[in-house]
Amino acid sequence: MARNKLMVINAGSSSLKFKLFQMGEVGGQALKAIASGICERVGDPGASFIRAKANGGGETKEEQPMADHTSALQSVSQFLSGAFKGDFTREVHGVGHRVVHGREISQPVLITNQIRATIDKASDLAPLHNPPNLMGIDAAMRTFAGVPQASPL
């Protein structure tokens, strides 16, 4: 199975937005968005839901309990695995994360334990953003084990 997809995640305090790209020449484009969506009301399992679309199809909305960002990413994985008929996580080559503030980090970086600690230290500068970003990073590292994770800070 080819690792030819890139996942981009934007974890907010009560949401998780995502976009999945196909790499390679697809209709003359090097990257083509093939799925996107948002998990909303993350942390409120009785009211959380996912809105998403894939393969040029219409948007679907499904209520699903999401206690945290890990369960939100699991909902995304279930949606995408259904849309692409299989375990799409095995096709993901890399994951990009939108991080608000990395203190002394000012260029794109691969996320390592040291970079994660730096982002965590910068939480005092972006208290509404960095903690959820870190939850999204942690969830993605579990979901996409061994896949490079990066932030375009």
CA angle 121, 127, 133 (to 5 degrees): 75
The structural domains of the chain, ordered by start, are: 5-151 (3.30.420.40)
Q: 115-146: per-residue pLDDT in tens?
A: 999 999 999 998 988 998 999 999 999 999 99
CB contact at 8 A, 1 and 24: no
The pTM of the full predicted model, rounded to 2 decimals, is: 0.89
Q: 39-68: per-residue pLDDT in tens?
A: 999 999 899 999 999 988 899 999 999 999
> What residue type is assigned to position 85 of the chain?
K
Q: What is the DSSP letter of 87?
A: -
Q: What is the mean pLDDT of residues 30-44?
A: 94
